[in-house]
Amino acid sequence: MMTDNIFLKIIEKQIPAKIVHEDDRCLAFHDVNPQAPVHVLIIPKKVIPTHDQLSEADGALLGHLHLIAVKLASQLGLGAGYRLVVNCKEGAGQTVPHLHMHLLGGRDMKWPPG
């Protein structure tokens, strides 16, 4: 059950994280339980619990998150390719109720994902 928003505590620096990018709209940090050699989470500072709660007003923010993903993929050496994943709700495996984009790379990826 998704209740506690641990990412808000990371944004507010109440708990530590290995931050790789921060600006006024978003934060990116290494996942504590990496599923690939590079596994970074890119999150908006605005609280949007699930992907299906995005609205028209969030369009620019969503574009920004993607452009940060492009920048980080380059900085983190993912020139051979990377995967972006957003899990929406428990049925898709979402465990933290704060919109986040997984940036995964550094190993071969299979398709379809499990």
Active-site amino acid positions: 100
Sheet (strand 101-105) strand order: 19-22, 26-30, 38-44, 101-105, 82-85
Give the separation between CA 29 and CA 71, rounded to whole angstroms.
14
Return the number of the residue (17 or 78) whose C-beta is nearest ligand 5GP.
Answer: 17
Query: What are φ and ψ of residue 30, in 5° steps?
Result: -70, 140
Give the separation between CA 25 and CA 86, rounded to whole angstroms.
18
Return the number of the residue (79 or 114) whose C-beta is nearest ligand 5GP.
Answer: 114
What is the smallest separation between the CB atom of 56 and ligand 5GP, expressed in angstroms? 24
Query: What are φ and ψ of residue 90, in 5° steps?
Result: -55, -35
Positions that interact with ligand 5GP (CB under 6 A) = 6, 17, 29, 31-33, 41, 87, 93-96
What is the smallest separation between the CB atom of 17 and ligand 5GP, expressed in angstroms? 5
What is the smallest separation between the CB atom of 70 and ligand 5GP, expressed in angstroms? 20
Return the number of the residue (56 or 111) whose C-beta is nearest ligand 5GP.
Answer: 111
